[in-house]
Structures are given as structure tokens and as C-alpha cells.
Amino acid sequence: FMFSSGLNFQDLMARQGAIDSPPKTPFIMGSECAGDIEQVGEGVENFKVGDRVVALPDHKAWAELVAVPATSVFALPPGMSYLDAAAITMNYTVAYILLFELAHLTPGKSLLLHSAGGGVGQAVVQLAKTVKDVTIFGVCSKSKHEALKNAGTIDYLLERGADYSNEVRKISPEGVDIVLDCLCGEECNKGYALLKPMGKYILYGSSNVVTGETKSFFSAARSWWQVDKVSPIKLFDENKTLSGLNLRHLMYQHGSHAFVRRAVNQVYTLWSEGKIKPTVDSTWALEDVPEAMQKMHDRKNIGKIVLDPSLEPKPKPATPAKGKAKDKKAANQEEKKASSVESEEGEKKKEPELTNGTSEDKSDSDSKEKESS
Ligand SMILES: NC(=O)c1ccc[n+]([C@@H]2O[C@H](COP(=O)([O-])OP(=O)(O)OC[C@H]3O[C@@H](n4cnc5c(N)ncnc54)[C@H](OP(=O)(O)O)[C@@H]3O)[C@@H](O)[C@H]2O)c1
């Protein structure tokens, strides 16, 4: 039974059909949820009814009842709230694998991170700072710089879209030890070029594919085309390493459940020791998912967006009556028409108040959003 759920960038991509093998529509979205076990399948021994758990299903997480293979379910450590579980599990597990399994982060290393203000970005920053003397170059939208500067965890904030490579070189002429790239496309080449000898570049997302409100084959093709195809001989000559991480594939195509479980347990241990605390941007009722997604799409979230089904949905602004926007002449013409088909049309003119508005009134939606960090 679901009590809390996370909104991830992958959900935006799934909505656009921009992930590989998206489920057939219609389908229930969501790839992470926390709650209690309501029923246990045959042969499952490590969980029982009533256990407090978090699950990372392949979609279908945004529902009251979620059916998920036991291999993708993780017991919550004592004292962890459902909200924290939804904010931590996916993002910190990805961040943990990136930093400690793939990049082998050690004291004194430097790190370039894209979307540094986002859910995974903030998890990477916190985990990286558990290691001594790590320097973080964080690239993100300019609008987030002030808030992130105040948080004080990113050493150098760089602006997305600007010549960040040049900025990094001004501070560290030899480049960086680790590049974590969730954008793909031209950032791959820039990231690779910024690596010091023995440096590691890791691709873990393709956010650049999202350019508009719907899937664009052109963006996907461009993103692929822009990436230099690097030969192992070049890596050998330059002493560089390229890696990739796709948690969904790791769990649902490659069957590496034990590996992921170990990483989740490491993350929960760090949480139990008080070393990490999720940055939650905002929490939303399930009914308000479209607005929550829009906030992410508009690049406005700092940290994780969480869904909480116990919250009341925001009141939606009433849609103005159709006639209002029309000029007087058109209104008069309509009146005449109406008088000729009296009773039926008379009813149609009574415009009902719509309650499923898409909330174009942003200020209204933002003011009622439950800011939780
Ligand atoms: N490999 C894996 O297994 C795995 C798992 C989870 C997430 N990820 C990846 O990690 C990245 C971050 O995921 P998240 O869930 O934590 O989301 P998030 O970073 O909170 O996503 C929102 C942020 O993405 C940035 N962004 C970059 N390109 C964008 C675009 N085209 N449209 C809108 N926003 C864009 C924006 O920040 P700025 O404008 O500040 O950059 C925005 O605020 C994503 O690429 C995601 O696919 C990978």
C-alpha cells in the first residue's frame, strides 16, 4: 500500500515515450514508492505483510496498491519516514553507485556534475562531501545558483549553457578527475575533454533529449550524433575511462539485484549514521502530478519532488466562461442564435466550472505548493 512516491526525470521521459521500450499506453507511471506490504506472493520469504518498505518497480508506482517483484523491494531502516524513503532510495542509490562503485571517489579528487541542483545532483553532492577534500564543479540553471550558494556544498557553481569548460579550466587548468554526465549529446565530448589523465567520465542520463513538450526524434538523433565515438585505443593512449550506469536496465534487464541491494543498504547505513539527509524540493498530491512534472520540466526544482497521496489536491482555478473573451459583436450574434434554438442551447450556455484545469495560473499553484525544505 503506497504512502509516498518519488517523481524522477525518467518519468518525464516516460511520459514523452522518450525512454527505450516504454510500456504500452495506457499505463500507470512512477518508478519508486514507499509503503506497507499488503500481500506477499508465493515463495517470498524475506518479507511479510505489514513490513515498511520501498520499491523500485519498472513503472506503475503511482498507485494505491503496487505489485512489484520482491527483488525490487527494500526494507526501510528503523525511523525512516515513507517520505524520506521516496526521496532517498532511487537518487542516493544512483549517486552511490556513480561515486563509489564506478568513479572510486577518494580524498582530494575533483568532480564535474551536471544538473547539480536536481534530485540525483543533490544526492551526489551530499555523498561526495562525505569524502575529504573533494572539489565539486556544479553545472545547473542560473536561477538555482543563489539557493545553492547559500547551501554552500558546491565549490564552484557554473551556468548551464555557458562555456563551463572554459570556466573549469580557469580554476583547474589540468581539468577534473571525474565527470558525471546526465545530459548526453555534446556534453559527452566536453566532459571527456575535461578529464585529467586517469580521469573517469560516466554517462547516466540523456536529459538533452527532452527539448519540448513531446518526444522529438530529431533531438534523440542529434544527441546520439553529437557524441564522439571513442576507440579503446584512444582511452589507452590518454589514460582515461568511460563508463555508464542505467539502474533500470541493471535491475530489469541485467538482473543485478544483489548488487543494487548492497548499494541501497550502504545508502541506508549512511542515512542511519546521519551522514545524509535528502533535499526535498516540494511534496504534491497525486492529483497534482501534472503540475509537479511541469515544475521539473521548467527546471525549477531544487532537490527531489515527492508525491504524497494523503495531501489534498490544490484547488484548481475556475475556467473563465467562454463568452468573456469574445468581442461584443460576436456575443450578440451568439445571443441571436441562442434565441432561435431556445431550450437546448439555453442549457449549453451555462458554462460549468471546470476543476481539472491545467493551472496556467502558476502563481496560484506555486503559492499553495507545500515547500518542505
Ligand atoms: N542512470 C540511472 O539509473 C538514473 C537514475 C535516476 C536518474 N537518472 C538521470 O539523472 C538525471 C537527474 O534525474 P532526477 O530524477 O534527479 O531529475 P532532476 O535533476 O531533479 O531533473 C530536473 C532538472 O533536470 C535539469 N534538466 C536537464 N535537461 C533538462 C531538460 N531538457 N528539460 C528539463 N530539465 C532539464 C534541470 O536542471 P538544470 O536546468 O539546473 O540542469 C531540471 O531542474 C536525469 O538525466 C535522469 O535521467 C539516471
pLDDT on residue 351: 34
Residues with CB under 6 A from ligand 1: 8-10, 90-91, 94, 115, 117-121, 140-141, 144, 160, 182-183, 204-205, 207, 210, 245-248, 296-297, 299, 301
**Is residue 312 situated within a structural domain?**
no
**Is residue 145 situated within a structural domain?**
yes
Domain interval for residue 178: 84-304
What's the structural domain count of the chain?
A: 1
C-alpha cell at 154: 558546491
Q: Which of 207, 160, 179, 185 is nearest to 10 (CA)?
A: 207
Beta pairing, strands 73-75 & 52-55: antiparallel
CATH of the domain at 180: 3.40.50.720
**Is residue 40 situated within a structural domain?**
no
Residue nearest to atom 28 of ligand 1 (CA): 207
The single residue listed with the C-alpha cell 517520505 is: 83
pLDDT on residue 369: 44
Q: Which of 215, 118, 120 is nearest to 160 (CA)?
A: 118
**Is residue 311 situated within a structural domain?**
no
pLDDT on residue 263: 98
The single residue listed with the C-alpha cell 547551501 is: 151
Backbone angles phi and psi of 355, in degrees to 5: -115, 0
**Is residue 228 situated within a structural domain?**
yes
Distance CA 183, CA 121 (A): 12
Q: Say how many C-beta atoms besides its own lie within 10 A of residue 4's C-beta.
A: 22
**Is residue 101 situated within a structural domain?**
yes
Distance CA 211, CA 208 (A): 7
Q: How much distance in Å is there from the Cα of 114 to the middle of ligand 1?
A: 9
Question: Which amino acid does the sequence have at 272?
Answer: S
Mean residue pLDDT across the chain: 87
**Is residue 238 situated within a structural domain?**
yes
pLDDT on residue 158: 98
pLDDT on residue 328: 46
Query: Does residue 371 sit in helix, strand or coil?
Result: strand
pLDDT on residue 320: 63
Q: How much distance in Å is there from the Cα of 51 to the middle of ligand 1?
A: 31
Ranges under pLDDT 70 in the chain: 319-373
Helix 186-193 / helix 217-226 crossing angle, nearest 10 deg:
20
**Is residue 111 situated within a structural domain?**
yes
